[in-house]
Amino acid sequence: MSDTVETTETDAWVPDEDAGVEDEPKPQELPFGPDFVRGVHTELYRILGAPGSETELQGVAGGEWNLVTQGRASEENVLKAYASVSGFPVLDEDDAGSLDAFPEVTFDYLSNWVAVPISWNEKTTTVAVAQPYSLGLLAYQWRAMFGRDVVFTLARRTFVERLLGTLYDTSFTEEEEFNWQGDNSEQALRDMAREAPIVRLVNDMFNRAVEMESSDIHVEPGEDQLAIRYRIDGVLHTVQTHPISHYPAIASRVKLLGGLNIAEHRLPQDGRIDLRIGTMEMDVRVSTVPTMHGESIVLRLLQKELSHFDFENLGLGADMRGMFEKLVKMPHGMILVVGPTGSGKTTTLYCVMRMLNSDTRKIITIEDPVEYQLPGLTQIQVRSQIGLSFASGLRSIVRQDPDVILVGEIRDRETAEIAIHAALTGHLVLSTLHTNDAAGAISRLLEMGVESFLISSALLCVLSQRLIRKICDECSGTGMQSAGAGERKCRNCGGTGYKGRVGIFELLNLSDDLRRAINDRRDSTEIAAIGRRHGMRTLREDGEEKVKRGVTTPAEIARVCQLDAVIE
Ligand SMILES: [Zn+2]
């Protein structure tokens, strides 16, 4: 392998006296030749988990970018392969915050090389490149033009292209840009959406979202900037910003992929994209809504991977899990999972479905929307436009001889009564309600007008839940990692200190005392008190237990409980 050189990106960096680092970077060995290209391809396929497939690229330098354009590899994957085979350092994008344009070099020259100068002094220029080919020639030309040696560092292609656009590209005058944006004919938008840099940029957006385990991508046009935010573990983060001039092309690309009307800008639209990234298949729901500065686009990423619907990962404590598993295996009765939107109710129910799913049981669901498709289940999508509501769907489901019925949500008395009737006539019925706590579910059903004796005889239990963020394993929640002599932002959690989520739960098991209290229409405070007398642990107590075990922080429990205050 070649000689690795640590480049310094800022002037403020001072070498440690004892570290034996020289002031001037050593000359880099520039990668060259077919062996290097083959090495990159072998490494890339190893990273993608498909070793031996490198013959596909036929040893063509740059062929790896076809995989990025097709969405089969991310820029990050390609960058890792380049770095490991060439031994070149990788630019830390956070450190390259505010850069100046290198004087006397043109946009055309740099974009031809997909290269951008990062820092320079009299003798050397550090240049970030998106691919490590023919660098000997670039170094030679640079020396001839500017009398400086070049030190190379690798960077993501979209990052280099964005810097080139903002620092060097003077080709768009304001007037031209206005004309470009103004051409909203369908053909112009379609052409724009198929241009390679736009295709790469949008694919990169999906790839990064998957790498960061994001659940939603928000594309938000503002007055002069386009912000791309990712929801990670329930919290939004701005990950990229682009000049607003990129917006029409990005929006058109997303709309094209989502099967939306590309020329329609005034009405909300919905669509979906089947996405494959590496070996992972995703179902993406696209929603657009017109705003002051263009359409706001939200992309919801749904993993088709079923392994995460595993009881193990839910976060139910051993005792509660044992009790809940026993209840969901009952032949009939009703089980409710409650909590606000985004509290993980659907995931819990899919875990139950996955556990109950077998040849000997017929499981029918009615959902709005069907979020995940589980093989072996009969899943029905609510379509209110044609009169297929929860209630009407449920009526038909009962006639299909099911063992288990999942009703996505109980919103009204009619649905509640059909569901309870089904639970009393030999079916196991699972559903959700939007209430804050387990006891509240019973009051909600009473408020809907459901008879108290129906509730007390059908209901088996109510599980209330929230999702809390887990402390990052890599940095133990500090958000920082040691790097050489200093510290850097933790890459695993992006500096937030949290990675992944887990549930906190409250399980109200229906005892005889409780059934009597329901028959007497007692209020939720009394119901909760009876539950606690029979050993129910509250959400907050379960949260505190998880703080004690080092799973999460008191701040996170406080944040989730504060959210509750807003809901109430
Ligand atoms: Zn971390």
Query: Separation of 543 CA from ligand 1 center, angstroms?
Result: 21
Read out DSSP for 246-278? GHHHHHHHHHHHTT--TT--SS-EEEEEEEEET
CA of 552 to the centre of ligand 1 (A): 13
With a cut of 70, list the residues of the chain below it in pLDDT.
Answer: 1-27, 97, 170-184, 277-280, 304-308, 563-568
- Positive or negative, the CA dihedral 352, 235, 486, 79 is positive
Q: What is the pLDDT of residue 423?
A: 97
- CA–centroid distance, 137 to ligand 1, in Å, is 40
- Give distance in angstroms: CA of 126 to centre of ligand 1: 29
Between the CA of 232 and the centroid of ligand 1 the distance, in Å, is 13
CA of 497 to the centre of ligand 1 (A): 5
Q: Is the dihedral of CA 44, 47, 48, 50 positive or negative?
A: positive
481: CA distance to ligand 1 center in Å?
7
Question: pLDDT value at position 563?
Answer: 58
CA 212 to chain centre: 6
Which DSSP state fits 389? -
Cβ proximity of 157 and 122 under 8 Å: no
CA of 471 to the centre of ligand 1 (A): 8
551 alpha carbon to ligand 1 midpoint, in Å? 13
CA distances from 247 to 160, 184, 264 (A): 18, 12, 15
Q: Are the C-beta atoms of residues 244 and 262 closer than 8 Å to each other?
A: no
How close is the Cα of 212 to the center of ligand 1, in Å? 12
Name the token pair of 61: 């330098």
pTM for this model (two decimals): 0.68
Rounded to the nearest angstrom, the distance between the alpha carbon of 487 and the centre of ligand 1 is 12
CB atoms within 10 A of CB 304: 13
Kindly give the distance from the C-alpha atom of residue 489 to the centroid of ligand 1, in angstroms, as a whole number: 8
Report how far ligand 1's centroid is from the alpha carbon of 493 (Å). 4
Going from the Cα of 216 to the center of ligand 1, the distance in angstroms, rounded, reads: 21
Q: 436 exposed, middle or buried (CB, 10 Å; 0-12, 13-18, 19+)?
A: buried
pLDDT one-digit tens code per residue, 353-398:
999 999 999 999 999 888 888 888 999 999 888 889 999 999 999 9
Say how many Å lie between the CA of residue 430 and the centre of ligand 1.
Answer: 37
Q: State in Å: Cα 213 to ligand 1 middle.
A: 14
Q: Quote the ligand 1 centre to 484 CA distance (angstroms).
A: 17
**Quick one: pLDDT at residue 308?**
67
Q: How far does the centroid of ligand 1 lie from the alpha carbon of residue 550, in Å?
A: 14
End-to-end Cα distance, the chain: 62
Ligand 1 center from residue 480 Cα (angstroms): 6
Residue 508: the pLDDT is 96
Q: How far is the CA of 505 from the centre of ligand 1 (A)?
A: 25
Cα(499) to ligand 1 centroid in Å equals 7
